[in-house]
Structure 1
Amino acid sequence: MMEGRIWAESTLGVGSRFHFTLKTRQAAGKLKPFLHPNIPEIVGKRILVVENNPASSQALSDFCSGWGAKVDSVKSVSDAIGWIAVGRTYDIALVDSNLPGDTPLEFAKYVRNRYDKQTLPLILIAPPNDRHPKDTVRELYNLYLTKPITRSRLFDSLMTVLGELNLLTIRPEITQNKLGERLPLRILLAEDNPINQIVATSILDEMAYKADVAENGREVIEMLRKKPYHVIFMDMQMPEMDGLEATRRIREEFPADRQPVIIAMTANAMDSGKQECLAAGMNDYISKPILPETVEAALQHWCSKTAIATGNHHATAHA
Structure 2
Amino acid sequence: MLLVLNTILKIRLRESAADGTHAKISGHVSEGCDASILLDDTNDFKGEKNALPNRNSARGYEVIDSIKADVEKACPLTISCADILALAAREAVVLSGGPYWQVQLGRRDGLTASESAANAQLPSPFEPLDNIVAKFLAKGLDIKDVVVLSGAHTIGFAQCIAFKNRLFNYKGSGQPDPALNSSALPDLKTICPNQDSSNSNLAPLDSPSAYRFDNVYYTNLVRRTGLLESDQALMGDPRTAALVKAYSMNPYLFYNDFATSMVKMSNIGILTGKDGQIRKSCRFVN
Range of TM-score over shorter length = under 0.3
Q: Give the alignment's TM-score, normalised by structure 2.
A: 0.25
Q: Which has the higher contact order (CA 8 A, sep 6+)?
A: 2
The structure with more strand, counted as a fraction of residues: 1
Task: Please say which structure displays the higher CA radius of gyration.
Answer: 1
Q: Give the alignment's TM-score, normalised by structure 1.
A: 0.23
The structure with more helix, counted as a fraction of residues: 2
